[in-house]
């Protein structure tokens, strides 16, 4: 089968490799659509270590073509979206329901061969059956939606809570939809890109958007109080500092964007002075999959509008370059396999 194999940082080639087998409790999935994530680019550039050689990719959907012994929920021909996070189900974190931080877990495309390939074999519990109303291409966005669902479950937004979303990329747009769906009012979208905040209003329900004089505008909008929640989707010191200015005293910041190992320049004094809660969020929990699939099946969440480009597997490195090029209007690139 064809697969994108990373053998060292920036040493990526499309190679012919053996088709994996479905072992006990596993299903073999023919990948039809997979998306480019910033995490994949981090692996490609060597910013995050992987065990080489490694087939990259983790945001995907396809069709079951083979089932191993012990599989009882899925059958050949089922359309599925893949949970990319392996979890053991028996460590302390898993028993607490925190499978995203499983002590024995890993990620497709990092510890385990991923989905920039024609086929992948995964445990049955990692393949979620899709309703006919959701296309395989749209289903790749569930990885974004499930992580946003988990993060918002941690803060429990109520009706009329004010929420600011900092960074209106794919994750920020999912958070914007969810916050509005959960009853937040107002929902404020913040981005440097005008086209992204236009999309946040036109497609995803933001009540207000700002791309300049952000703190001043939000304070005026909230009568000088600040917002109840800030969901920071960028992961940089400048936007985390902005979040501490936007949030009201006693409010909550969700650090959703993946930060570097050390955040130089983060002004942490506001955590004490304003008595702010700072919450991290990693991956998702099993319950977030049926919740998210049901939201999309009922038409309450738009999965497809963030898809802006489609490329073949052979052009994967070009896709990585497109994602890093801020001059291009790129939100989500689908790799067609």
Q: Do the bridges between strand 247-255 and strand 187-190 make them parallel or antiparallel, or are there none, so unpaired?
A: unpaired
The interaxial angle of helices 38-45 and 316-324, nearest 10 deg, is: 110
Tell me how far apart the alpha carbons of residues 3 and 6 are, in angstroms, rounded to a whole number.
10
Predicted TM-score of the model (pTM):
0.95
Tell me how far apart the alpha carbons of residues 161 and 219 are, in angstroms, rounded to a whole number.
15
**With 90 as the cut, is the pLDDT of residue 17 above it?**
yes
pLDDT tens sequence across 62-112? 999 999 999 999 999 999 999 999 999 999 999 999 999 999 999 999 999
- The overall average pLDDT reported for the chain is 96
User: Domains of the chain, with CATH numbers?
Assistant: 2-141+303-336 (3.90.180.10), 145-280 (3.40.50.720)
208 SS3 class: strand
Q: Tell me how crowded residue 270 is: count the other CB atoms within 10 A of its CB.
A: 19
pLDDT band at 327 (very low <50, low <70, confident <90, very high): confident
Tell me how far apart the alpha carbons of residues 308 and 330 are, in angstroms, rounded to a whole number.
6
**Which burial class, exposed, middle or buried, applies to 267 when counting CB atoms under 10 A from its CB (0-12, 13-18, 19+)?**
exposed
Contact present, 269 and 134 (Cβ < 8 Å): no
Tell me how far apart the alpha carbons of residues 182 and 159 are, in angstroms, rounded to a whole number.
7
pLDDT tens sequence across 143-193? 999 999 999 999 989 999 999 999 999 999 999 999 999 999 999 999 999
């Amino acid at each position: 089968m064809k697969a994108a194999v990373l053998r060292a940082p920036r040493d990526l080639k499309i190679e012919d490799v053996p088709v994996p087998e479905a072992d006990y409790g596993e299903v073999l999935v023919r990948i039809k659509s997979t998306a480019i994530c910033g995490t994949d680019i981090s692996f490609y550039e060597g910013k995050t270590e992987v065990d080489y050689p490694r087939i990259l990719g983790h945001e995907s959907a396809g069709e079951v073509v083979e089932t191993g012994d012990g599989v009882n929920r899925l059958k050949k021909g089922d359309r599925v979206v893949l949970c990319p996070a392996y979890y053991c189900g028996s460590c302390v974190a898993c028993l607490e329901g925190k499978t995203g931080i499983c002590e024995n877990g890993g990620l497709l495309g990092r510890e385990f061969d991923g989905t920039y390939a024609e086929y992948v074999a995964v445990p049955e519990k990692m393949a979620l059956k899709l309703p006919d109303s959701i296309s395989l291409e749209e289903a790749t966005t569930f990885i974004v939606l499930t992580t946003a669902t988990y993060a918002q479950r941690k803060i429990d937004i109520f009706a009329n809570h004010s929420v600011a979303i900092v960074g209106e990329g794919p994750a920020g747009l999912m958070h914007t939809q969810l916050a509005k769906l959960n009853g937040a009012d107002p929902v404020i979208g913040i981005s440097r890109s005008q086209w992204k905040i236009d999309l946040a209003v036109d497609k995803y329900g933001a009540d207000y958007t700002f791309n300049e004089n952000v703190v001043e505008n939000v304070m005026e909008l909230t009568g000088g109080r600040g917002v109840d929640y800030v969901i920071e989707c960028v992961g940089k010191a400048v936007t985390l500092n902005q979040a501490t200015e936007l949030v009201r005293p006693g409010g909550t910041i969700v650090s959703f964007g993946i930060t570097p190992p050390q955040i130089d320049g983060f002004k942490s004094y506001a955590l004490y002075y304003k008595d702010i809660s700072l919450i991290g969020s990693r991956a998702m929990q099993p319950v977030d999959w049926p919740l998210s699939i049901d939201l999309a099946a009922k038409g309450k969440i738009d999965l497809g509008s963030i898809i802006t480009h489609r490329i073949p597997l052979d052009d994967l490195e070009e896709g990585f370059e497109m994602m890093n090029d801020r001059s291009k209007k790129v939100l989500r690139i689908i790799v067609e396999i």
